[in-house]
Amino acid sequence: MRPDQLQQGQEQKKQGIDVAVLVSIGRHPTTGRARRAEQDARGLELALAMEAELPGTRISVLHAGPQNDDGEAALRGYLGMGLESMTLLEQPEGSDAILALVEHLAATSPQLVITGARAERGEGSGLLPYALAEHLGWPLVNSLASVEKVENGVVTLLQALPRGQRRRLKVRLPAIISVDEAAPAARQSAFGPARRATFSVTPTAPEADSELAQWHLAPARKRPKRLKIVKAASARDRFKAAASKAEGKGGQVLTDVTPEQGAEAIYKLLKEEEVLR
Amino acid sequence: MSETIRRDQRRDPRREWIARNRLHPEHASVIAALGGTGGGAAAVSEWLGPNGVVRKNPRAIGFIGPNGVKRIDRSGLQQGEQSTATATAARDSRRTVTIDQPAFLVAVVPDLTGGRLSGHDKDLLGLARRLADADAEQPGAVVAILFGEHKGEGGGELKEQALGEAGIDRVVQLDDELYAGFAPETRLAALSAVERVMAPRFWLLPDSPLGGADLGRRLALRLGERAATGVWQVEADNEAALGWRCTARGAAGSLDIQRPLSRVALALAECAEPVDETRHAAEHLSLATSIPTTLSRIEDLGQVAVDPAGVALAEAEFILSGGNGVKEWDAFHHAAKVLGATEGASRVAVDDGFMARDRQVGATGTWVTARVYMAVGISGAIQHLQGIQRCDKVVAINLDPGCDMIKRADLAVIGDSTQILAALVAMVEQQRGGQRDAA
């Protein structure tokens, strides 16, 4: 790399990017009290880690919802993580947050939007990040584990896969990333800074969510446990199904083989299953 | 008529005696001869007499049991001596269903993890069948869109059969390189093409972190639908727009939402019973239109090597588990490192202090869900076998060919575990070395 390129690269690094973090009001799973939402807090943690790594990164925290005491106490949970203010897009209870957020994001045009995968209240369908991506036309990456680096408008990410695996992705900015339990845990919220932080309230045109209002919501019932259904026509078969040990499907058994032959058979199976890397 | 029957049923006491005597040298051939003609003879244990009265031949009823004693099974299932041949046929008595002119289509996009239909996928196909078969007069067809290759048990026809038995009428196979890895934009383009060509009435996807949850939400927004997510119950409802109502989990699993079923639905595991009474055609279709290539803004750089020891045992993909039969523990740890496997252990190995307690697999330890579970020197106590119930493939290395683990295993090698592991490690290292040289 030539010195002037290096200089440019460093400047780019110093410049940082605009990050918008979308937060919602969570719900404590046992008490049902309002709190900072788990996944959104992890998203904010990710943004704060980016700020520490990439000086000059500007974080703006957004929440769309009504302004009331209960909600404010929960939202201050995010502010106590080390923020001075957050933007509250004010709208009445039961409004659709998507349109307000799209308008705001289109106007402020941050380079990276971080959001939790799904809300802990209301419908909680996890459709919001996808709706934003579709409306804004930005790429979306779900289930983020960490942000590795940002350079020249391209961000390198680690995506969490099931079974503890990770995948590296390169995404062109602007982009939306959604965060679930795989991201690093959020830091504690400090009470003093949370009290001192301020809200800047922006009223928005309310758009009632009429569909949700028609649905019937009830506390979750326990799902019925699936029974083991034995479809046997005769008493003998039913008895066999109930009493006998489950037998294997009769796998391949290699006896009297040299260790090399045995190892080869195992190696073939591992290759077929694609577990060897 | 009675004359012919009597002639058919002329008894040969000697043959009958041989058939009863399992130890007779001619037993097998006599049984085979009886099996060939016996099917017909057994069928006429009951006939309509000349006066219109049902006549029965009590001697033709029943069969000779394994101990040479005559048994009668009143359930009407028994088929005499041909047990082995007919039992498999009886088990395969699923109705074959072919739907030539479907009234509508139900599209399903299974996860197809590791190239196989998972339990979740099969439940989802069961739900799709419910939606398709609601009106017996005008049945719909279930179309499965498969990204990547399907690896069934066995090859060729058996593979297709596995799809048909899961309840799939039509298959759209998209196994291009483009769809491999994380390629939501290309996959979405393909699904949009399917939507344009086939216009299915419903789109069903698994609400699973293996890819279905992500792709389904993208598809819903692309089609402009408000997807029903976390669906776990579906009921018919005449007032709803599409004729179905569903119960869905909302708000991080704390709410049940009753709503009309939308065109795109993401369903949880156990949303319906998997198909097991019918067998479908699984006919391959090719898409008539070309799928537009999209310039993706997401570049997949591939999976990252993860330290297998850091992966939680319960969700590890590949486990190398050691038990009482392992003598060289250093070699075992080395093998796990080379193979990239997470280490597990049986209770004995943990009690003897060779492995940590959190590595124990089984009823008292961790219930694992690995795709490949390699048991080295583990005889397979029932508690251990419970813990590995949900593993796909089990490989056993053991000295004792009669132990329970061998019965459970898909591949079992009888021999000294130290030598076999050493040979396997050498083979893997050699292959890797060869690849590196080539690269």
Q: What is the mean pLDDT of residues A95-104?
A: 90
Q: What's the confidence (pLDDT) of residue B44?
A: 62
Q: What's the confidence (pLDDT) of residue B37?
A: 52
pLDDT value at B220 more than 70: yes
Q: What is the mean pLDDT of residues A22-38?
A: 92
Give how far the C-alpha of residue A34 lies from the chain's centroid of Cα atoms, to the nearest Å.
19
Q: Which of residues 329-358 of B touch A (CB under 8 A)?
A: 339-341
Q: pLDDT tens digits for A163-220?
A: 888 899 999 989 999 998 888 999 999 999 999 999 999 988 888 888 888 889 999 8
What residues in A contact B251, CB-CB < 8 Å? 27, 119-124
Q: What is the mean pLDDT of residues A122-133?
A: 91
* Mean per-residue pLDDT over chain A, rounded: 86
Provide ipTM, 2 decimals: 0.86
pLDDT value at B224 more than 70: yes
For B72, nearest residue in chain A (alpha carbons)? A236
- Of chain A, the percentage scoring pLDDT greater than 70 comes to 92
pLDDT value at B299 more than 50: yes
The beta-carbon neighbor of B411 closest among A163, A219, A252 is A252
Interface check for B429 against chain A (CB to CB < 8 A): the answer is no
What residues in B contact A251, CB-CB < 8 Å? 394, 408-412
Tell me which of B215-219, B229-233, B282-286 is least confident: B282-286
Please answer yes or no on whether A167 and B182 come within 8 Å at the CB atom: yes
pLDDT value at A19 more than 60: yes
Interface check for A123 against chain B (CB to CB < 8 A): the answer is yes
Q: B187: part of which helix (H) or strand (E)?
A: helix B184-198
Interface check for B328 against chain A (CB to CB < 8 A): the answer is no
The beta-carbon neighbor of A27 closest among B185, B251, B310 is B251
Contact B108, B142 (CB under 8 A): yes
Q: pLDDT tens digits for B395-428?
A: 999 998 888 899 889 999 999 999 999 999 999 9
Instruction: Give backbone dihedrals phi and psi of A123, rounded to 5 degrees, phi first.
Output: -70, -45
Q: What's the confidence (pLDDT) of residue B310?
A: 79
Tell me which of A116-130, A230-244, B67-81 is least confident: B67-81
Q: pLDDT tens digits for B57-87?
A: 777 777 777 787 888 777 655 544 444 444 4
DSSP state of B143: E
Reported confidence tier of residue B392, pLDDT bands at 50, 70, 90: confident
What residues in A contact B229, CB-CB < 8 Å? 125-127
Q: In 3D, which of B294, B286, B289, B282 has the Cα closest to residue B173? A: B286
Q: What's the confidence (pLDDT) of residue B82?
A: 41
Q: In a 3-state reduction of DSSP, which class is residue A144?
A: strand
* CA A124 – CA A39 distance, rounded (Å): 12
Q: What's the confidence (pLDDT) of residue B156?
A: 60
Beta carbon pairs, A and B, within 8 Å = 241
What residues in B contact A139, CB-CB < 8 Å? 185, 296-298
* CA A19 – CA A114 distance, rounded (Å): 7
The alpha-carbon gap from B375 to the nearest alpha carbon of chain A, in Å, equals 12
Reported confidence tier of residue A244, pLDDT bands at 50, 70, 90: low
* CA B96 – CA B99 distance, rounded (Å): 10
pTM for the predicted model, two decimal places: 0.77
Q: B27: part of which helix (H) or strand (E)?
A: helix B27-43
If one counts every other C-beta atom within 10 angstroms of the C-beta of residue A154, the result is 14
Reported confidence tier of residue B195, pLDDT bands at 50, 70, 90: very high
pLDDT value at A138 more than 90: yes
Q: pLDDT tens digits for A42-71?
A: 999 999 999 988 888 899 999 999 888 888
**DSSP string of B149-186, one letter each residue:** ----SSSTHHHHHHHHHTT-SEEEEE--GGGSSS-HHH
pLDDT value at B145 more than 50: yes
Please answer yes or no on whether B340 and A175 come within 8 Å at the CB atom: no
For B425, nearest residue in chain A (alpha carbons)? A263
Please answer yes or no on whether A118 and B315 come within 8 Å at the CB atom: no
Q: Which of residues 134-193 of A touch B (CB under 8 A)?
A: 134, 139-143, 156, 158-159, 161-172, 175
DSSP state of A270: H
